[in-house]
Amino acid sequence: MEPKTLAVVGGGPAGCAAANKLNSAGHKVVIIEKENQLGGRIYTHRDGDIILDSGAAFFTNFYPLLTRYIKSLDMTKEIKELFRSSELVWNDRIARLTIGSISSFLSFPFINTIDKLRMAFYTMWLTVRRRSFDLVDPVKLARYDIRSAADGARATVGEAPYQFLVRPGVEPFWYFSCEDISQALTMSLQSRAVDAKFFFIKTGMDTVCHKLAQNIQTRLGAEVEHATLEPDGKIRLRWTNESGQKTEEVFDGAVIASTAQAANRITAELPEHIVSRPQREFLNSQTYVPNIHAAYLVDRDEGASDVGVVFPCGPGKKAIAAIAFHSHKIDDASKLPPGKELVSVYLSGDTSGRLISSDKSGIFEKCWSLAVDFYPKLPEKYESFALFVRPETIPVHAVGRYKLAARFISEQKGPVTFAGDYLATATVEGAIRSGIRAAEKLIRQ
User: Considering the domain 85-196 in this protein, what is its CATH number?
Assistant: 1.10.405
In tens, the pLDDT along 375-411 reads 999 999 999 999 999 999 999 999 999 999 999 999 9
| Residue 127 half-sphere exposure toward CB, CA atoms < 13 A | 11
Average pLDDT of the chain is 95
pTM (two decimals): 0.96
Q: How far is CA 58 from the centre of its chain?
A: 10
Confidence grade of residue 1 (pLDDT, cut at 50, 70, 90):
low
φ and ψ at 98, to 5 degrees?
-110, 120
pLDDT band at 157 (very low <50, low <70, confident <90, very high): very high
Return d(Cα 84, Cα 105) in angstroms, integer: 13
Write the pLDDT tens digit of every residue in 211-250.
999 999 999 999 999 999 999 999 999 999 989 999 999 9
> Tens of pLDDT along 165-179?
999 999 999 999 999
Triad 310, 312, 316: Cα angle to 5° = 170
Region for residue 400 given its phi and psi (left: phi exceeds 0; alpha: psi -120 to 50; beta: otherwise): left
Helix axes 401-410, 277-285, angle to 10 degrees: 140
User: What's the fold here for domain 5-42+64-77+204-287+397-444?
Assistant: FAD/NAD(P)-binding domain (3.50.50)
The contacts of residue 259 (CB under 8 Å, 6+ apart) are 286, 288, 392, 395, 420, 422
Separation of CA 92 from chain center: 30
Q: Taking the domain 288-395, which CATH number applies?
A: 3.90.660.10
Instruction: Give the pLDDT confidence of 89-132 residue by residue, as tens digits.
Output: 999 899 999 877 788 899 999 999 999 999 999 999 999 999 99
- Cα–Cα distances in Å, from 31 out to 209, 212, 297, 428? 11, 11, 35, 18
Q: How confident is the model at residue 135 (pLDDT cuts 50, 70, 90)?
A: very high
pLDDT in tens, 5-22: 999 999 999 999 999 999
Q: pLDDT confidence of 333, banded at 50, 70, 90?
A: low
**Which residues are CB-neighbours of 122 under 8 A, at least 6 positions away?**
156, 157, 190
- Is the pLDDT score of 330 beyond 80? no
pLDDT at 334: 56
What CA–CA distance (Å, rounded) separates 135 from 63?
9
> Does this chain's domain 5-42+64-77+204-287+397-444 share its CATH topology with 288-395?
no
Rounded CA-CA distance 14/418 in Å is: 9
State the burial class of residue 383 (Cβ atoms within 10 Å of its Cβ: 0-12, 13-18, 19+). exposed
Q: What is the arithmetic mean of pLDDT over 426-439? A: 98
Mean pLDDT value of segment 314-320: 97
- Which residues sit opposite 305 in a β-bridge? none
Q: Give the residue-averaged pLDDT of 348-375.
A: 97
Domain borders along the chain are: 5-42+64-77+204-287+397-444, 85-196, 288-395
